[in-house]
């Protein structure tokens, strides 16, 4: 016990010395080395491993791929040099240490022995969990494997799935390995999202899948889906993530802005800056969010701060002029353009010379034609079909989010914090859209790009039963809507006999004008 306390004392001392390092310039690692040297020799290997962990955190935290790090000359990076030299000092023969050597192999391009090293490391690591009557959790998995290995080499994560498919590993982690193979080497975001959703169908507590789904949907510009998973990820306590927290908050702010929820957009840009005050574009974006809320004086203060600190100047200068114009301060805007030295867009400069409007004209940008509704979706000639179900899904989602009735019903996508009814996960399936109407009843919407198949009825009926059991509250009705092209006679017959279901056929039409 006394020996354990003494080791903890030196580990804490090492962490304190490491925290004092200044990575904004070339750090001096000598104090960290001195802590290890000053400890009793029996602790040297443990402390050396702890030091390698600290250095590895600095090398690997905050980004998804090593290829992002390779933009710099990593071989000359002081942190990498210290890490490599520290790994060499570790004792030989311990398979747990193989993970440190694997990282060096990846960063130096000598990746031929990666899987061999992992074949030693993983069983030894899992044995330690079993010896303590524990299992590798999602957090352990991220910290021990995902952060240090990142993209690794092609096939590595599929290989790790086989190594981790054993007792002592949390349910869903092997599936997460397969999803990571898709994340790193897949070419279509849709396929990556599918792989990550399959993980959550296995175990909803694998929060790494939620973080990466938020990131993937963000890249797909599916803002509501991105938010639902980023919100779920934010709610996880004591999480270990791939991305820095300020990145997560920035993405959430951007998504809220796209949804025109400016209050939450403002709140999350402020959270971004609270976590990382130098976050790129966050200060300017906060200012523009205040501008959109007509908090013009607050916006002016933010844009002036951007310019005084030489931050986000490309946008802040234009936005400051835009704010002066909104405040009716044409002379101030003119003076800024003439004397500040910042480049301002020609459109804004042209507005400075215009007389002030006496009345704001509200322009309705929504075409009345787009609001025309029938009980069918008139977006194709019969016999023509969408190339993917996602396009049909996009069309329906867009209409519902704009408040346009679909299927003759005033539907909106089912939504609450951390949940969005598009690609909605059920027990062992995933339905296309879960929607609600003005009576708060629920609608299971299943889409097929072609004629589908007779089992579309059985599939939708099963989803209805799951929604009734798992989601619907007392008094809430659940209905099914199937939409496809050229339904079969058998499908028509089944749906017609079921009062809980309705069947719709879409078409694509073109009119020459």
Three-class HEC string of 299-351: HHHHHHHHHHCCCCHHHHHHHHHHHHHHCCCHHHHHHHHHHCCCCCCHHHHHH
Q: How far apart are CA 321 and CA 300, in angstroms?
A: 9
What is the pLDDT at residue 102? 93
| C-alpha atoms less than 13 angstroms from C-alpha of 41 in its C-beta half-sphere | 1
Residue 422 CA to residue 472 CA, distance in Å, equals: 17
End-to-end CA distance of the chain: 87
The residues near 352 (Cβ < 8 Å, ≥ 6 apart) are 321, 325, 330, 333, 334, 337
pLDDT at 23: 86
From residue 227, how far is each of 29, 216, 276, 463 by CA, in Å? Answer: 41, 11, 21, 24
Q: How high is the pLDDT of residue 509?
A: 61
* The pLDDT value given to residue 370: 31
So what's the pLDDT on residue 412? 95
Backbone angles phi, psi at 501, to 5 degrees: -125, 150
Token pair of 116 as six digits: 């061999």
146 close to 242: Cβ distance less than 8 angstroms:
yes
Q: Please choose, from the candidates 211, 135, 148, the residue with its C-alpha nearest in 3D space to the C-alpha of residue 174.
A: 135
Q: How far is CA 445 from CA 189, 348, 378, 457, 505, in A?
A: 23, 46, 17, 11, 13
Residues 478 and 502: their CA atoms lie apart, in Å, by 12
| Half-sphere CA count of 161, side-chain side, radius 13 A | 15
Distance CA 305, CA 296 (A): 14
Question: Is the CB of residue 429 less than 8 Å from the CB of residue 458?
Answer: no
pLDDT of residue 354: 73
Contact present, 37 and 10 (Cβ < 8 Å): no
Q: Give the pLDDT of the chain (513 residues) as one tens digit per residue.
A: 556 889 999 999 999 999 999 988 889 999 999 999 999 999 999 999 999 999 999 888 888 888 877 666 778 889 999 999 999 888 767 899 999 999 999 988 888 899 999 999 999 999 999 999 999 999 999 999 999 999 999 999 999 999 999 999 999 999 999 999 999 999 999 999 999 999 999 999 999 999 999 999 999 999 999 999 999 999 999 999 999 999 999 999 999 999 999 999 999 999 999 999 999 999 999 999 999 999 999 999 999 999 999 998 889 999 999 999 999 999 999 999 999 999 999 999 988 877 655 544 333 333 333 333 323 333 323 334 444 577 888 889 999 999 999 999 999 999 999 999 999 998 877 899 999 999 999 999 999 876 555 588 999 999 999 999 999 999 999 999 999 888 888 999 999 999 999 999 887 666 677
pLDDT recorded at residue 93: 77
Q: Where are the alpha helices (DSSP H) in 109-155?
A: 114-131, 138-141, 147-149
Separation CA 21–CA 282 (nearest Å): 27
What's the length of the chain? 513
Report all structural domains of the chain as residue ranges with CATH numbers, in order of start: 2-208 (no CATH), 264-352 (1.25.40.10), 369-508 (3.40.1350.10)
Q: How far apart (Å, rounded) are the C-alpha atoms in residues 318 and 313?
A: 9
Compute the distance between CA of residue 412 and CA of residue 507 in angstroms, rounded to an integer: 22
Q: Which residues contact 274 (CB under 8 A, 6 or more apart)?
A: none
Does an H or E element contain 400, and which?
helix 389-401
505 neighbors 486 (Cβ within 8 angstroms): yes
- pLDDT of the residue at 448: 83
Instruction: Tell me which residue of 302, 343, 304, 348 sits closest to 326, measured CA to CA.
Output: 348
Burial of 406 (0-12, 13-18, 19+ CB in 10 A): buried
Residues 6+ apart with CB under 8 A from 448: 389, 456, 482, 483, 484, 485
């Amino acid at each position: 016990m006394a020996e354990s306390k003494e080791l903890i004392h030196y580990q804490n001392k090492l962490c304190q010395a490491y925290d004092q390092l200044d990575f904004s310039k070339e750090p001096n690692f000598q104090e960290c080395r001195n802590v290890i040297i000053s400890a009793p020799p029996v602790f040297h290997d443990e402390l050396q491993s702890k030091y390698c962990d600290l250095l590895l955190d600095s090398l690997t935290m905050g980004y998804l791929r090593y290829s992002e790090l390779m933009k710099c000359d990593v071989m000359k990076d002081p942190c990498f040099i210290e890490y490599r030299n520290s790994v060499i000092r570790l004792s030989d023969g311990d398979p747990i240490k193989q993970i440190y050597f694997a990282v060096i192999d990846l960063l130096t391009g000598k990746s031929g022995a990666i899987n061999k090293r992992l074949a030693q490391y993983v069983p030894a690591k899992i044995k330690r969990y079993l010896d303590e009557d524990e299992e590798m959790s999602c957090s352990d998995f991220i910290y021990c494997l995902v952060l240090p290995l990142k993209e690794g080499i092609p096939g590595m994560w599929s290989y790790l799935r086989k190594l981790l498919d054993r007792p002592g590993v949390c349910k869903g982690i092997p599936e997460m390995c397969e999803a990571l193979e898709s994340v790193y080497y897949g070419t279509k975001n849709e396929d990556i999202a599918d792989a990550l959703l399959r993980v959550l169908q296995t175990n909803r507590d694998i929060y790494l899948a939620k973080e990466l789904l938020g990131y993937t949907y963000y890249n797909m510009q599916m803002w509501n889906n991105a938010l639902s998973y980023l919100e779920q990820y934010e709610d996880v306590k004591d999480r270990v993530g791939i991305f820095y927290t300020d990145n997560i908050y920035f993405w959430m702010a951007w998504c809220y802005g796209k949804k025109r929820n400016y209050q939450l957009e403002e709140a999350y840009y402020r959270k971004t800056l609270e976590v990382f005050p130098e976050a790129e574009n966050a200060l300017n974006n906060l200012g523009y969010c205040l501008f959109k809320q007509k908090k013009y004086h607050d916006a002016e203060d933010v844009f002036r701060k951007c310019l005084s600190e030489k931050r986000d100047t490309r946008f802040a200068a234009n936005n400051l002029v835009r704010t002066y114009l909104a405040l009716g301060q044409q002379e101030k805007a003119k003076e800024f353009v003439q004397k500040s030295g910042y480049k301002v867009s020609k459109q804004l400069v042209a507005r400075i010379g215009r007389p002030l409007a006496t009345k704001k004209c509200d322009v309705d940008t929504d075409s009345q034609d787009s609001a025309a509704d029938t009980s069918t979706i008139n977006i194709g000639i019969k016999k023509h079909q969408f190339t993917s179900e996602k396009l049909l899904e996009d069309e329906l989602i867009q209409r519902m989010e704009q408040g346009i009735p679909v299927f003759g019903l005033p539907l909106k996508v089912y939504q609450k914090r951390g949940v969005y009814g598009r690609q909605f996960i059920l027990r062992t399936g995933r339905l296309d859209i879960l929607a609600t109407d003005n009576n708060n009843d629920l609608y299971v919407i299943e889409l097929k790009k072609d004629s589908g198949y007779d089992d579309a009825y059985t599939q939708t009926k099963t989803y209805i039963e799951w929604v009734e059991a798992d989601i619907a509250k007392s008094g809430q009705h659940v209905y099914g809507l199937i939409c496809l092209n050229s339904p079969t006679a058998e499908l028509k017959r089944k749906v017609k006999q079921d009062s809980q279901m309705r069947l719709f056929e879409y078409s694509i039409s073109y009119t020459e004008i």
